[in-house]
Amino acid sequence: MNTLAKCTLSAAVAAIVSVNAVQAAEITTVDPSFKLTYKNYYWKEKDSKNPQNGSDIYRDEWVHGIVADFDTGYINNMMGAVVTAGFADPLDVQKNTSISNVAKGSDGKANGIAGVQQAYLKAKYEINNLTVHGSFGVKKRGYALYGNSGSRLLAASSYGYDLSANYMDATLYASHITGASDRNASAFKNDLTVGKDNQGKDQKLDSIDIIGVNYTLMGVGLNAERLVSEEYLKKHFYMVDYTFDLGNEISLATDVRYATAEKEGKLLTSGDYIDDKGEYESSYYNLNATLNIGHAYVGAGYNKTSEGDWAADDSDQGNAGTFNSSLSQWADYALEGEKAYLITAGYNFADFGLAGLSINAYAAKGENAKNYKSDFDRREWSTSISYAFDGVMDGLALRFMHTNYKFDGTKTAANSEKESDREKINRVYLTYTINAF
């Protein structure tokens, strides 16, 4: 009921603010929209580990739900509101499996969840070549160093405000985040937390602050971003990208990425990230190239992580762990010293009159992690097939994904046993979207 009340309050505030803002002037709404999406997911997965440093994980999960998205557009090209709400309910979920899309009760059974994933006000102002955007509330955010996951039936979200200013080919942006909700939770928002203290209590994180800039110069894309999790982590990210047009529907897309992370305060106190001096640093660089030929592509990527394991999680809420590298696949290939390689390929069947049919595949491999002996080896491969219907079945989409992950290694610490991990993942996604307006 609290969630519903907050949703209703947000919508009411949006309407009041919007009406007052235009003050008796003629109200013109630009691009309002409302859509309903039905989702039906079936996941069957197995994760077997040895030795038992973690119990085997099994997923046999069939769930469905509905997500409603309402966007007022911009009223008088100035202000508006967005509300996204939905529910996820189990159809057939095996008891005591690792439940992903819904909640697990104290009895080990799956329970349905419902809530508001987005509820925020937005505004913009345009003058000559300058456009300023702002938003405040709960929303799914996506930045280079922070992004709420949308991999479950209901998306994760975060609470705060965002500002951006675009002038010509440059965009300056910032975000201040003070709360978040996980992708399998019913909460409107929770406090940001980062692990437990010595008494087993959650360590509260006051805020996550992001500032960044995008700029395009003669076709070269530049992105720089800084993130500070107060009293926890400080990160920087840089990327340069350029696409070579080779003619005859052939192009080569390239990018170089570099990122750093370091301890920022007192909350990062234990775990694998901290060195024997109580400090933490990490960095990685990532090189990528993708050759596009008509409706086909092949690509390659390389990543090297140094100084320490990359700490992807900026908090325990919002499923916001971000390792912004092409080697962030089923696993993050981001252990200290790890060299990782990626090959990708895909094809769209538009030439055969099936523009909605695509197949994509990749293979990844990691080696030479610093804190493991020479037997360290991990790799994965994945294939996905998707089809988006058109005509009378427009809005219906199907996707099948299979991923196979393998890990072996023995840590250099004394008396360490050889570790292994085998994961087989099969997922089927069915979605049907109706655009009411």
- The answer to which of 114-123, 185-194, 247-256, 267-276 has the lowest mean pLDDT is 267-276
Residues 183/191, Cβ–Cβ less than 8 Å = no
The domain spanning residue 185 has which CATH number? 2.40.160.10
Mean pLDDT of the region 208-212:
97
CA distances from 166 to 45, 175, 220, 366 (A): 44, 15, 17, 39
Residue with tokens 């696949």: 329
DSSP, res 17: H
State the pLDDT at residue 367: 96
Which tens digit of pLDDT belongs to each residue from 221-232?
A: 999 999 999 889
Which tens digit of pLDDT belongs to each residue from 383-408?
A: 999 999 999 999 999 999 999 999 99
State the pLDDT at residue 12: 39
Dist CA 211 CA 252 (whole Å):
30
Mean pLDDT of the region 298-316:
94
Which tens digit of pLDDT belongs to each residue from 21-63?
A: 444 456 676 789 999 999 999 999 988 876 444 456 688 999 9
- How far does the chain reach from its first CA to its final CA, in angstroms? 28
- With 90 as the cut, is the pLDDT of residue 347 above it? yes
Q: Which residues pair with 67 in a beta bridge?
A: 37, 86
> Left (φ > 0), alpha (ψ -120 to 50) or beta: where does 271 sit?
left
Residues 300/342, Cβ–Cβ less than 8 Å = yes
Rounded to the nearest 5°, which phi and psi values hold at 174? -155, 155
pLDDT band at 248 (very low <50, low <70, confident <90, very high): very high
State the pLDDT at residue 10: 42
Rounded to the nearest 5°, which phi and psi values hold at 32? -70, 155
Dist CA 381 CA 384 (whole Å):
10
% of residues, the chain, pLDDT over 90: 75
Which tens digit of pLDDT belongs to each residue from 274-294?
A: 877 788 999 999 999 999 999
Q: Is the backbone peptide bond immediately before 51 cis, with ω within 30 degrees of 0?
A: yes
Q: Which helix (H) or strand (E) holds 98?
A: none
Residues 171/155, Cβ–Cβ less than 8 Å = no
Residues 167/133, Cβ–Cβ less than 8 Å = no
Mean pLDDT of the chain: 90
Which tens digit of pLDDT belongs to each residue from 1-11?
A: 344 334 433 44
- The winner for highest mean pLDDT among 99-103, 171-175, 264-268 is 171-175
Mean pLDDT of the region 414-427:
92
More confident: 269 or 338: 338
Dist CA 305 CA 258 (whole Å):
10
Maximal CA-CA distance, the chain: 77
Q: How many domains, in total, are found in the chain?
A: 1
% of residues, the chain, pLDDT over 70: 91
Beta pairing, strands 157-167 & 202-205: unpaired
Residue range(s) defining the domain that contains residue 29? 2-435
Dist CA 105 CA 95 (whole Å):
10
Q: Which helix (H) or strand (E) holds 284?
A: strand 281-293
